[in-house]
């Protein structure tokens, strides 16, 4: 008799990693997308591992639309929306939420405003009713408005002491100029000037069903949930006009350094960026993969270089940032003050390497697998799923975006990466932001271009 | 109108290898991913006396190379399998974890076993990570408004025993003093299979996962474990105070910490509910009083890290108040909230609402946790703590009932016993422009 199976004792310790097993199929939950008669687009997906639901109601107007008249007004409006309706005072809203095991957020980005709630599935009906109440009947109580405005005023002061905020603010100014995306937050004076009537007007004009998007995922059956939604949101009617696009910002020409002076800081926030593309551009997949290799993953060139080899920084990285009308590419690192020039040298070296040299097959394959896997992690949690669905539906991407993403990423080649890097890693015209102590960093930064200096309030200083 | 609540049941299987490594599997085949964690029972509370920050520095070294996976190879293999990874250092545990497509389960287990068996690092790696950690401290603490408030500021004021009271991120002089010999000694002492638990969650068959674990981990030798450091605190008999200068932010801030009951006692369960009565968002009593009603504070929050600590720990309230109010006046209004709970207790309906939210938050933590970027992070985290601290991962399915059966009487008695001045520390973070000291 012979035995086919080797006894366990014959196992010798392996010194190379096991190969991957065959990939298991990934199935994104089926979406049901319905537009109600009032124009509200409803998208539902089941996610039943935990007895919860998560819902987001998006309005397609945000801070960009008021950037030239009252910066931050959309955010202020969203903040006050949760503080009262015609039938519920602030305290009742908060107690109702707790009674449903729910948490609520209301906020605005550049392009949209959102009310989001996550709570226990057994309370799905009252949760939807509360969202509808906030969307339709917010009453903007004077006292709550004054309280929230003061809170925002203090937050704005704290933002001006936060290096990463100051860097982002300056970069958006530099890249977007006259475009509304240039402004990411109001000043103290602008917050002080908000009036309740402005919030009410923004709410009336933009918190409307037509063109808006309700996403709900969770532990429910689609049919029953759709019935509830029709009941709760069906009778809501209001006029709507879609926000206009603004003229494209001109692309800055030549590298320029923008130094934000924070006296006495023990570290410098470096941020480098250039205009790029939106998710609707045919280059989006190529740029995303190039970014993963450059600085968008732990195992990326920038992290290997300035963290793991040189120890300049803790959390360096690069990002592709897609807003609705435009996108931009950024590279960031908080570094010790004496290596600002060295860091910028490596940032541009790695950008130029991506532009000049083909990525080797191993590195290409690693990055493709990384993006394909991490993108799909979103399927496993309600929040992850909501995040992916909001990307698809807010950016009006193709209906099979989630299902085809992995294949599209896996089909990319080294030539695609060179093309993307040459077009979107614009090292010759990238804008350089450094936030730190002028005396310690100015000379280093000046090696990379003419320098403009600002204080933390954005004023130009000599 | 509401539906009947669905009771959640988490599948849990567990066993122990011959070398003492505990294994926990929780199958859930709803998505083709697995989350794997290795938790070692060593945290910054237990790091060597006088070596502040060493446990965290060491955590970085665990990514610097092992016997068969050179520097960056571990990271490359996880990323190129389509996954994410990280590690964190906590009071009583240090964890390493990955979320990957489920076809990479065996590969990830091989990687974790390789670094549990033999760390392979050199002077250059240590120099490099010492620099990285210093930048981590600068970006998170020294160059950040309210950096380290209050998780680094409060323990030295609240506690007297060094393990609980030192700088957990590390003084730079202590980081500089760390040697490669220290690293290897720390590894030998604490990174033993019998001081750890391996968690495997998600799209897997427990029998197969246990088989992989046995294949790669079982011949890692057990080590004699040192006696656990004495983390007990001497009895506190006075209110403790401290002040730290805020160099960047404009608002005065206050942290108030009360030392909590011992783990797994009836008072401990009740204290977790008391924390939510006081700090449960905008409906919580402290936010309602200080931010919404009195409008003294701009922001207030608080929490008690009870489930994932195994030693003296505090419920901490953080208050950012308007500069026109004094710190003393602010604390006096906070005290009114505490006194009301002590004197008048809690109504049954308020308690029931708090419990509903508690249940919901527990589910959210299990599903995601840590910002949801890794599926089942919280499930992994709690399973590890229940295994290492309580010896029973099945508590994941039973512990909620203990919290949900806390009575109003117990709430009031815990408030009277623990939320007292002789059991608390008050830290003020005073901005430079408002009298803080340079």
Contact at CB, A266 and B354, closer than 8 angstroms: no
- What's the pLDDT score for residue A11? 55
Chain B residues with beta carbon closer than 8 angstroms to that of A146? none
- What's the pLDDT score for residue A420? 98
- What's the pLDDT score for residue B371? 59
The C-alpha atoms of residue B317 and residue B315 are separated, in whole angstroms, by 7
pTM of the model: 0.96
Residues in CB range of B223: below 8 A, 6 or more apart:
B188, B189, B192, B194, B195
Asked if residue B155 lies in contact with residue B244, where contact means CB atoms within 8 angstroms, the answer is no
The C-alpha atoms of residue A93 and residue B129 are separated, in whole angstroms, by 48
Q: Which of B101, B358, B403 to mutate to test the interface with A (most CBs of A within 10 A)?
A: B101
With b for 16 or more beta-carbon neighbours within 10 A and e for fewer, the A258-289 pattern comes to bbbbbeebbbbbbbbbbbbbbbeeebbbbbbb
> Do B372 and B416 sit in the same domain of this protein?
yes
3-state secondary structure of A108: strand
Length of chain B measured in residues? 438
In the DSSP assignment, the letter for residue B138 is I
As a CATH number, domain A31-233 is 3.30.830.10
CATH number at residue B86: 3.30.830.10
> Do B208 and B270 sit in the same domain of this protein?
no
Beta strands in A162-288 (DSSP E): 213-218, 256-261, 268-275
For residue B228, being part of any structural domain is answered with no
Residues of chain A with pLDDT > 90: what percent?
Answer: 93
- What's the pLDDT score for residue A131? 98
- What's the pLDDT score for residue A246? 82
Angle at which helix A196-206 crosses helix A142-159, to 10 degrees, equals: 90
Of A101, A298, A314, the CB nearest to B135: A314
Chain A residues with beta carbon closer than 8 angstroms to that of B82? 369-370, 372-374, 376
For residue B310, being part of any structural domain is answered with yes
> Do B258 and B378 sit in the same domain of this protein?
yes
> Do B416 and B361 sit in the same domain of this protein?
yes
B61 → chain A, closest CA residue: A308
Q: Beta strand pairing status for A256-261 and A451-454?
A: parallel
- What's the pLDDT score for residue B4? 82
A367 → chain B, closest CA residue: B80
> Do B199 and B245 sit in the same domain of this protein?
no
C-alpha distance from A247 to closest chain B C-alpha (Å): 36
**A112 pLDDT more than 90:** yes
For residue B231, being part of any structural domain is answered with no
The C-alpha atoms of residue B316 and residue B302 are separated, in whole angstroms, by 5
Closest residue by Cα to residue B351 from B2, B359, B343 = B359
A147 → chain B, closest CA residue: B295
> Do B32 and B180 sit in the same domain of this protein?
yes
Asked if residue B300 lies in contact with residue B291, where contact means CB atoms within 8 angstroms, the answer is yes
> Do B311 and B203 sit in the same domain of this protein?
no
For residue B7, being part of any structural domain is answered with no
The C-alpha atoms of residue A421 and residue A350 are separated, in whole angstroms, by 11
Kindly state the average pLDDT of the residues A158-186: 97
Q: 């969770």: which residue's tokens?
A: A218
- What's the pLDDT score for residue A241? 67
A19 → chain B, closest CA residue: B107
**In chain B, how many domains are there?**
2
Of A15, A26, A382, the CB nearest to B68: A15
**pLDDT digit string (tens) for A297-334?**
999 999 999 999 999 999 999 999 999 999 999 999 99
- What's the pLDDT score for residue A2? 36
pLDDT in tens, chain B (438 residues): 567 888 899 999 999 999 999 999 999 999 999 999 999 999 999 998 888 999 999 999 999 999 999 999 999 999 999 999 999 999 999 999 999 999 999 999 999 999 999 999 999 999 999 999 999 999 999 999 999 999 999 999 999 999 999 999 999 999 999 999 999 999 999 999 999 999 999 999 999 999 999 999 999 999 999 988 899 999 999 999 999 999 999 999 999 999 999 999 999 999 999 999 999 999 999 999 999 999 999 999 999 999 999 999 999 999 999 999 999 999 999 999 999 999 999 999 999 999 999 999 999 999 997 655 799 999 999 999 999 999 999 999 999 999 999 999 999 999 999 999 999 999 999 999 776 665
C-alpha distance from A242 to closest chain B C-alpha (Å): 33
A310 → chain B, closest CA residue: B128
C-alpha distance from A296 to closest chain B C-alpha (Å): 11
* Distances in whole angstroms, Cα of residue B211 to Cα of each of A276, B18, B192: 49, 13, 20
Kindly state the average pLDDT of the residues A344-355: 98
The C-alpha atoms of residue A80 and residue A90 are separated, in whole angstroms, by 10
- Domain A256-461 fold is Cytochrome Bc1 Complex; Chain A, domain 1 (3.30.830)
Contact at CB, B356 and A99, closer than 8 angstroms: yes
Rg of chain B over CA atoms, in angstroms?
Answer: 23
For residue B225, being part of any structural domain is answered with no
**A174 pLDDT more than 60:** yes
For residue B230, being part of any structural domain is answered with no
Domain boundaries, chain A: 31-233, 256-461
For residue B394, being part of any structural domain is answered with yes
The C-alpha atoms of residue A270 and residue A263 are separated, in whole angstroms, by 16
C-alpha distance from A358 to closest chain B C-alpha (Å): 19
Which residues are paired to B320 by β-bridges?
A: B253, B299
Q: 């975006």: which residue's tokens?
A: A401
For residue B233, being part of any structural domain is answered with no
Contact at CB, B100 and A373, closer than 8 angstroms: yes
Contact at CB, A336 and B134, closer than 8 angstroms: yes
Domain extent for B426: 240-434
Q: Beta strand pairing status for A41-46 and A213-218?
A: parallel
> Do B30 and B97 sit in the same domain of this protein?
yes
The C-alpha atoms of residue B185 and residue B195 are separated, in whole angstroms, by 15
Q: What average pLDDT does chain A have?
A: 95
**A1 pLDDT more than 50:** no
> Do B25 and B171 sit in the same domain of this protein?
yes
Give the residue, B432 or A2, on which the prediction is more confident.
Answer: B432
> Do B333 and B379 sit in the same domain of this protein?
yes
C-alpha distance from B236 to closest chain A C-alpha (Å): 35
Out of B182, B217, B252, a domain closes at B217
Residues of chain A with pLDDT > 70: what percent?
Answer: 97
> Do B35 and B166 sit in the same domain of this protein?
yes
Chain B residues with beta carbon closer than 8 angstroms to that of A335? 135
- What's the pLDDT score for residue A6? 39
Domains A31-233 and A256-461 share a fold: yes
> Do B40 and B132 sit in the same domain of this protein?
yes
């Amino acid at each position: 008799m012979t035995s086919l199976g080797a006894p366990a004792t014959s196992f010798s310790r392996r010194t190379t990693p096991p190969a991957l097993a065959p990939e298991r199929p990934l199935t994104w939950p089926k979406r049901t997308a319905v537009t109600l008669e009032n124009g509200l687009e409803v998208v539902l997906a089941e996610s039943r591992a935990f007895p919860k639901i998560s819902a987001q109601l998006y309005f397609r107007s945000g801070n960009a639309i008021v950037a030239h008249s009252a910066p931050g007004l959309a955010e202020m409006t969203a903040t006050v929306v949760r503080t009262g309706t015609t039938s519920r005072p602030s305290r009742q809203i908060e107690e109702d939420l707790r009674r449903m095991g729910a948490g609520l957020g209301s906020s605005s980005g550049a392009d949209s405003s959102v009310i989001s709630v996550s709570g226990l599935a057994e309370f799905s009906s009252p949760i939807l009713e509360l969202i509808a109440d906030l969307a339709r009947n917010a009453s903007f109580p004077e006292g709550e408005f004054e309280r929230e405005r003061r809170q925002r005023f203090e937050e704005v002061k704290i933002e001006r002491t936060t290096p990463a905020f100051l860097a982002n603010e300056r970069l958006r100014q530099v890249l977007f100029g006259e475009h509304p995306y240039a402004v990411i937050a109001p000043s103290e004076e602008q917050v002080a000037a908000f009036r309740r009537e402005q919030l009410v007007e923004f709410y009336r004009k933009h918190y409307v069903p037509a063109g808006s998007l309700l996403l709900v995922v969770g532990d429910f059956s689609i049919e029953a949930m759709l019935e509830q939604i029709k009941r709760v949101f069906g009778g809501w009617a209001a006029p709507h006009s879609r926000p206009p696009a603004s003229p494209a910002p001109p692309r800055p020409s030549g590298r320029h350094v923008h130094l934000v002076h924070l006296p006495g800081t023990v570290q410098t926030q470096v941020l480098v960026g250039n205009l790029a593309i939106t998710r609707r551009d045919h280059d989006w997949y190529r740029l995303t993969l190039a970014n993963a290799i450059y600085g968008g993953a732990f195992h990326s060139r920038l992290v290997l270089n300035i963290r793991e080899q040189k120890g300049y920084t803790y959390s360096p990285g690069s990002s592709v940032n897609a807003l609705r009308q435009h996108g931009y590419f950024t590279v960031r690192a908080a570094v010790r003050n004496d290596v600002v020039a060295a860091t910028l040298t490596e940032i541009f070296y790695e950008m130029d390497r991506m532009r000049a040299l083909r990525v080797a097959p191993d590195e290409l394959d690693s990055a493709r697998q990384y993006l394909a896997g991490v993108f799909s992690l979103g399927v496993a949690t309600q929040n992850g799923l909501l995040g992916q669905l909001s990307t698809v539906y807010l950016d009006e991407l193709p209906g099979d975006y989630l299902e085809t993403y992995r294949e599209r990423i896996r089909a990319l080649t080294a030539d695609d990466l060179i093309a993307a890097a040459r077009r979107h890693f614009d090292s010759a015209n990238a804008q350089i932001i450094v936030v730190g102590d002028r005396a310690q960093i100015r000379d280093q930064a000046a090696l990379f271009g003419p320098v403009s200096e600002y204080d933390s309030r954005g004023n130009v200083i000599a | 109108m509401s539906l009947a609540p669905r009771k959640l049941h988490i599948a849990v299987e567990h066993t122990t290898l011959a070398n003492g490594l505990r294994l926990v599997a929780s199958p859930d085949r709803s998505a083709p991913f697995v989350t794997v964690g290795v938790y070692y029972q060593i945290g910054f509370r237990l790091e060597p006396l006088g070596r502040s920050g060493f446990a965290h520095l060491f955590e970085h070294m665990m990514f610097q190379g092992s016997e068969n996976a050179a520097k960056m190879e571990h990271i490359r293999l996880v990323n190129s399998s389509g996954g994410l990874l990280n590690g964190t250092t906590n009071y009583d545990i240090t964890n390493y974890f990955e979320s990957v497509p489920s076809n990479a389960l065996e590969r990830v287990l091989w990687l974790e076993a390789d670094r549990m068996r033999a760390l392979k690092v050199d002077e250059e790696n240590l120099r490099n990570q010492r620099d990285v950690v210093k930048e981590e401290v600068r970006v998170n603490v020294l160059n950040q408004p309210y950096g380290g408030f209050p998780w680094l500021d409060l323990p030295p004021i609240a506690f007297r025993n060094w393990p609980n009271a030192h700088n957990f991120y590390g003084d730079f002089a202590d980081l500089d003093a760390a040697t490669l010999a220290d690293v290897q000694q720390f590894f030998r002492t604490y990174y033993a299979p019998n001081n750890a638990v391996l968690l495997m969650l998600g799209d897997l068959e427990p029998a197969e996962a246990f088989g992989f674990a046995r294949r790669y981990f079982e011949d890692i030798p057990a080590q004699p474990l040192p006696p656990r450091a004495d983390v007990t605190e001497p009895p506190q008999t006075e209110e403790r105070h401290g002040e730290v200068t805020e160099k960047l932010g404009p608002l005065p801030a206050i942290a108030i910490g009360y030392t909590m009951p011992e783990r797994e006692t009836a008072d401990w369960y009740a204290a977790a509910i008391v924390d939510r009565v006081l700090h449960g968002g905008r409906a919580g009593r402290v936010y309602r009083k200080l931010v919404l009603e009195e409008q003294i504070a701009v922001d207030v929050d608080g929490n008690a890290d009870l489930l994932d600590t195994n030693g003296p720990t505090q419920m901490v309230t953080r208050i950012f108040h308007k500069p026109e109010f004094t710190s003393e006046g602010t604390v006096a209004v906070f005290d009114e909230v505490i006194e009301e709970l002590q004197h008048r207790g809690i109504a049954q309906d308020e308690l029931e609402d708090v419990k509903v939210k508690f249940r919901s938050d527990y589910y959210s933590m299990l599903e995601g946790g840590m910002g949801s970027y890794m599926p089942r992070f919280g499930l992994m985290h709690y399973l590890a703590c229940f295994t290492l601290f309580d010896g029973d991962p099945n508590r994941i399915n039973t512990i909620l009932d203990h919290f949900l059966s806390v009575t109003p009487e117990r709430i009031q008695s815990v408030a009277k016993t623990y939320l007292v001045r002789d059991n608390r520390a008050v830290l003020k973070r005073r901005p430079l422009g408002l009298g803080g000291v340079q």
